[in-house]
Amino acid sequence: MNRYRAVAEYYDPEHERMEMLRHDVPFFLDSLPKRKRLSILELCSGTGRATIPMAQAGHRVVGVERDPAMLAIAVRKRDAVGLKERELKLLRGDVLTMNLRQKFDRVCIFFNTMLAFTTIEQQDRFLANVRRHLKPRGLFWLDIFHPDHSLLAERESRKMETSSFYVPALDRTVVRHVDVLRDMSRQWMRVTFHYKWFDRRGLERRESAAVEMTAIFPRELQLLLERTGFRIDRLCGNYNASPLRSESPRMIASCRLA
Ligand SMILES: C[S@@+](CC[C@H](N)C(=O)[O-])C[C@H]1O[C@@H](n2cnc3c(N)ncnc32)[C@H](O)[C@@H]1O
């Protein structure tokens, strides 16, 4: 899981045109009570894509991220927009083991990141740690993909999500594609990102990085949450607040302590 160390500078330009990422954080912000300042903890906060707009909306935000290169970009962006550390605290930590000794009104995790916990043991540890950081009347918000059964039936998918993007920090245009290898007996996938660009001498350069992921099915999500002491308050299938249906692309759950 070292992907983000190698290519942290790619992360923002790589994803900035991704349609779902235009909607996920605004949808979360819209769900919050108006004119009330909340304490919000974002788990696996990456380059600050979500934490910065939350803090700009007036909430007291803490982001926890394991990868120092991703965290450094988030700090750079926070400072550039003039947010203070008391408005947005960015901490290095592993969300499976950290203990901030603080409870929050909202704990959230975006962009499929809960699927990085690929075993039941990791999922239990993750959810137990969410519990530890949630106020008794707080809400836990998670946003993962709704499994597409035809895609999951393929052992391997190649050359998916081809795109190109410019990386200002490296003055480099990168072409990307994604390969996915699956073992559904373990609900396990390896997603490999392949990057290609030309250096200053015109030579083609390549690098790749992989993440492991799982898929979680709707009833399984409910059971995982219930066994760790949560109940689902609302389950949406997309960012227009539609309920989960068979064709829905997302599972966005807002959960309370049971
Ligand atoms: C897909 S990115 C999402 C970043 C950000 N939340 C967003 O929505 O743009 C996943 C992030 O989770 C981080 N991560 C993965 N496992 C983690 C863990 N156990 N503890 C803390 N961060 C973790 C990765 O380093 C990476 O920055």
Structure tokens at 161: 């999500």
Tokens of 133: 């950081």
Ligand 1 pocket check for 193: Cβ under 6 Å: no
Sites in the chain below the pLDDT cut of 50: 1-4
Protein residue with its CA nearest to atom 14 in ligand 1? 44
For residue 6, what pLDDT is reported?
A: 52
Give, using CA atoms, the residue closest to atom 3 of ligand 1: 46
Residue 45 Cβ < 6 Å to ligand 1 = yes
pTM above 0.75, yes or no: yes
Architecture per CATH, 3-146+217-257: 3-Layer(aba) Sandwich (3.40)
CA angle 91, 28, 70 (to 5 degrees): 30
Residue 246: φ, ψ to 5°:
-65, -30
Pocket lining: 85 vs ligand 1, CB cutoff 6 Å: no
Say what percent of the chain tops pLDDT 90: 92
Report the separation in Å between the CA atom of 85 and the middle of ligand 1, taken as the mean of its atom positions. 20
Judge if the beta carbon of residue 250 lies within 6 A of ligand 1: no
What are the domain boundaries of the chain? 3-146+217-257, 149-214
Ligand 1 center from residue 113 Cα (angstroms): 6
148-174 burial, b if ≥16 CB within 10 A, otherwise e? eeeebeeeebeeeeeeebebeeeebeb
Beta strands in 149-239 (DSSP E): 156-167, 172-183, 188-198, 204-214, 230-236
Axis crossing angle, helix 68-80 with helix 3-15, rounded to the nearest 10: 40
Please say whether the dihedral angle defined by the alpha carbons of residues 88, 92, 93 and 99, taken in this order, is positive or negative: negative
Q: One-letter amino acid identity for 120?
A: I
Q: What is the pLDDT of residues 27-46, one digit of tens each?
A: 999 999 998 999 999 999 99
